[in-house]
């Protein structure tokens, strides 16, 4: 569980060091993409804990979800349909579900550890 956290910290530091600046008009698309990315990672952690992790599904899911979420938000803005609500709802719900399952697995592991 520590390696992903380490990666996150490295990423944050890289973000501060690298001179990447997102145009302010793209913030709403970025936020949806970020949510999709977080959902993918939670899904990945869950699959890892369930020993069902497949790197192809994980990587393709990450990039696919992120790009589609950002694209849908953009398309929604152009068409006047707030499609990003759909992305936020879907990914948000899944995020909580995945977290609930991760929590259950982790608690089970802890219980088994202390039984023996």
Partner 1 sequence: MNKSKGRVEIAMICIIIGIMIVMQTKSINNLGGLVTTQRADQMLIELNQMKRENDRLQNNVITLENDISFFENEASSNNAVVEKMLRDVDAAKDQAGFTDLEGPGIIITLDYKDSDGYDPFQANSVLLLFLVNELNAAGAEAISINGERIINSSEIRLAGSHININGKKNSYPYTFNVIGNTSTLKSAVNMRDGILDIMESNYINVEVEESEKITVFKYNGTINFKYAKPIK
> Which residue, 10 or 81, has its beta carbon nearer to partner 1?
10
> Which residue, 31 or 97, has its beta carbon nearer to partner 1?
31
**Structure tokens, 38:** 């977080």
> Which residue, 51 or 78, has its beta carbon nearer to partner 1?
51
Q: How far is the CB of 10 from partner 1 (least distance, A)?
A: 5
CA distances from 21 to 15, 26, 27, 92 (A): 10, 11, 11, 26
Task: Name which of 75, 96, 78 is nearest 86 in CA terms.
Answer: 75
CA torsion through residues 77, 82, 83, 84, sign: positive
- The site for partner 1 (CB under 8 A) is made up of 3-16, 18, 20-24, 26-27, 30-31, 33-34, 37-38, 40-41, 44-45, 47-48, 51, 53, 55, 58-59, 62
Q: How far is the CB of 108 from partner 1 (least distance, A)?
A: 17
> Which residue, 44 or 76, has its beta carbon nearer to partner 1?
44
Q: Is 37 exposed, middle or buried (0-12, 13-18, 19+ CB in 10 A)?
A: middle
Q: How far is the CB of 106 from partner 1 (least distance, A)?
A: 15
């Amino acid at each position: 569980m520590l390696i992903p956290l380490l990666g996150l910290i490295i990423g944050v530091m890289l973000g501060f060091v690298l001179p990447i600046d997102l145009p302010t008009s793209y913030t709403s698309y970025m936020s949806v993409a970020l949510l999709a990315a977080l959902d993918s990672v939670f899904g990945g952690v869950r699959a890892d804990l369930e020993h069902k992790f497949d790197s192809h599904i994980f990587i393709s899911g990450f990039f696919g979800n992120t790009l589609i979420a950002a694209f849908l938000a953009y398309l929604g803005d152009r068409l006047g349909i707030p499609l990003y609500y759909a992305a936020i709802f879907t990914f948000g719900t899944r995020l909580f579900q995945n977290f609930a399952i991760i929590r259950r697995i982790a608690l089970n592991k802890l219980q088994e550890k202390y039984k023996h």
